[in-house]
Amino acid sequence: MAREINIGDRVAIFATVGKRIEDRVTLHILTANNPYSIVDPKAKPGDRMRFEGDVVFVDEDLGRVTVQVLGRVTVEASTAELVSKFRRPKDTKPLRRQVSKTATPPPPRRHRRG
């Protein structure tokens, strides 16, 4: 792993196409323990596919990352290729200040006679 992967980073995972059942193909993702399948009428067995997603969990003890792609996929961190680091927006202002400047005052309340 060239750079450390953190939560929010965009990473790529590679999968190999396995068997085909009508329009569906099975995917074999390196170091992932569960099988995955997608609908792709053009994929052939042996093709390699690239999926990009955001990292949602990092397990530093086991060296694994969970990526939001095809659902949630947990793979070894060394097999995930870093696409882009997460960057926090620079113009962060508290939401309360943004709302108070643009919000209109609420309409006056009418009392019921009862």
Per-residue pLDDT reduced to its tens digit, 41-74: 889 999 999 999 999 999 999 999 999 988 899 9
Under DSSP, is residue 95 helix (H, G, I), strand (E, B) or coil?
A: helix
Please tell me the distance from the alpha carbon of residue 2 to that of residue 102, in angstroms, as a whole number. 45
Predicted TM-score of the model (pTM): 0.69
**Domain assignment of residue 54, yes or no:** yes
Main-chain phi, psi angles of 67, to 5 degrees: -115, 140
**Domain assignment of residue 109, yes or no:** no
Burial letters 84-94, b for 16+ CB under 10 A, else e: eeeeeeeeeee
CB 53 within 8 A of CB 67: yes
**Domain assignment of residue 81, yes or no:** yes
Element (H or E) spanning 48, and its range? strand 48-59
**Domain assignment of residue 69, yes or no:** yes
CATH at 18:
2.40.50
**Domain assignment of residue 22, yes or no:** yes
Q: How many domains does the chain have?
A: 1
**Domain assignment of residue 103, yes or no:** no
Q: What are the pLDDT digits (tens) for 68-98?
A: 988 899 999 989 999 988 877 777 666 665 5
Please tell me the distance from the alpha carbon of residue 66 to that of residue 32, in angstroms, as a whole number. 10
Domain containing residue 26:
10-87
Token match 């990092």: residue?
A: 58
**Domain assignment of residue 107, yes or no:** no
**Domain assignment of residue 94, yes or no:** no
